[in-house]
Amino acid sequence: MKLITTRQDLTDCVTGWHRNGDTIGVVPTMGSLHTGHLTLVKALDGKVTRRIVTVFVNPIQFNNADDFRLYPRGLEADAALLEKTGDVDVLYAPDASQMYAPGFATRVTVSGLDSMLCGADRPGHFDGVATVVTKLLLQTRADIAAFGEKDFQQLCLIRRMIQDLDLPVSVLPVPTVREADGLALSSRNKRLSPEQRQQAVALPTALKACITAMKQGGTVEAALGVCADALKQAGFVVHYLDLRSGSTLQPTQASDPTARLFVAASLGDIRLIDNMPLA
């Protein structure tokens, strides 16, 4: 595996690959890698001949300076983890100067999808996501990009952006990877104290109970209310909890075959998200 930190070196590398007829898969990340990220890399097996993992903690998608400052980082550990898999050809880890040159003034906005759910209480977040992902797709010249379903709103937004901008890349969605107790893997989990980590399991537990209640004929409103109460009793501050279409992210009913339950909730200053399909 080769570590690349500049756009020019990346361009030279991928140009050579394309000249040789290689196909490229990319896994965009913000680092602090875990098994979920490795699953994204593995999902590219048999689909491409070259694989790139990007690590860049993107400053323009944070609307909270403390959240950006505290976001876990560890490039050496990330590199060692990827090297051990033997599945990655390039780790691309640019710094902010490589991504946002002086005078950078462009934002990519996916209207509508950027203002609901996580977008409602994180203004500008998805503009930052769309902008950096566009740049990474262009820089890596990837044929396939793998994204996890844990960040389902982000996945939907990126699909829309790629379609609207005619970017020549396919999106590969990968199911959420979970701990043994059901908590969705996330780099933010590393910030949880031992006590908070015990509390955190209430998140997937409450979602599963909510889905079961809906399937047994309970109303969506009643099931969501019980779920929200369970999360509050576990110590969470609930930012949103809603049933949405998995294709449009608009509010829907339990009879919708694409319906998914979406939640964002915080323990202290650590914000966790999750989602589960009803089907």
Which tens digits make up the pLDDT trace of 32-52? Answer: 999 999 999 999 999 999 999
Mean pLDDT of 253-263: 97
Which tens digits make up the pLDDT trace of 230-256? Answer: 999 999 999 999 999 999 999 999 999
Confidence (pLDDT) at 273 = 98
Beta bridge partners of 243: 261
The distance in angstroms from the start CA to the end CA of the chain is 40
Confidence (pLDDT) at 217 = 93
**Catalytic hit among 18, 37, 125, 239:** 37
CATH topology match: 2-174 vs 187-277? no
For the chain, the domains span 2-174, 187-277
Confidence (pLDDT) at 118 = 97
pLDDT-derived band at 3 (thresholds 50, 70, 90) equals very high
* Closest among 223, 148, 199 to 178, alpha carbons compared: 148
Query: How far is CA 206 from its chain centroid?
Result: 21
CATH no., domain 187-277? 3.30.1300.10
Confidence (pLDDT) at 74 = 95
Annotated binding site for ATP: 30-37, 148-151, 177, 185-188
Distance of alpha carbon 250 from alpha carbon 245, whole angstroms: 5
Q: Are 41 and 88 in contact (CB under 8 A)?
A: yes
What's the maximum distance between 2 C-alpha atoms anywhere in the chain?
58
Which tens digits make up the pLDDT trace of 135-190? Answer: 999 999 999 999 999 999 999 999 999 999 999 999 999 999 999 999 999 999 99
Reported as type and span, the H/E element at residue 23 is: none
- The CATH class of the 2-174 domain is alpha beta
> What b/e readout covers 14-42, taking b as 16+ CB neighbours within 10 angstroms?
beebeeeeeebbbbbbbbbbbebbbbbbe
* Closest among 21, 28, 2 to 145, alpha carbons compared: 28
Annotated binding site: 30-37, 61, 148-151, 154, 177, 185-188
Half-sphere exposure of 98 (CA within 13 A, CB side): 19
Residue at 27: amino acid letter:
V
Confidence (pLDDT) at 51 = 98
Residue with tokens 């576990």, as numbered in its chain:
234
Q: Are 214 and 253 in contact (CB under 8 A)?
A: no
Number of helices (H), then strands (E), belonging to the chain: the values are 11, 9
Which tens digits make up the pLDDT trace of 51-88? Answer: 999 999 999 999 889 999 999 999 999 999 999 999 99
User: Does 125 participate in catalysis according to the annotation?
Assistant: no
Annotated binding site for (R)-pantoate: 61, 154
* Closest among 24, 2, 253 to 137, alpha carbons compared: 24
Distance of alpha carbon 203 from alpha carbon 150, whole angstroms: 13
Sheet with 24-29, side-by-side order of all strands: 2-4, 90-92, 50-55, 24-29, 144-148, 170-174
Confidence (pLDDT) at 125 = 96
Annotated binding site for beta-alanine: 61
Please classify residue 181 by burial: count the beta carbons closer than 10 Å to its beta carbon, then call 0-12 exposed, 13-18 middle and 19+ buried: exposed
Q: Are 228 and 239 in contact (CB under 8 A)?
A: no
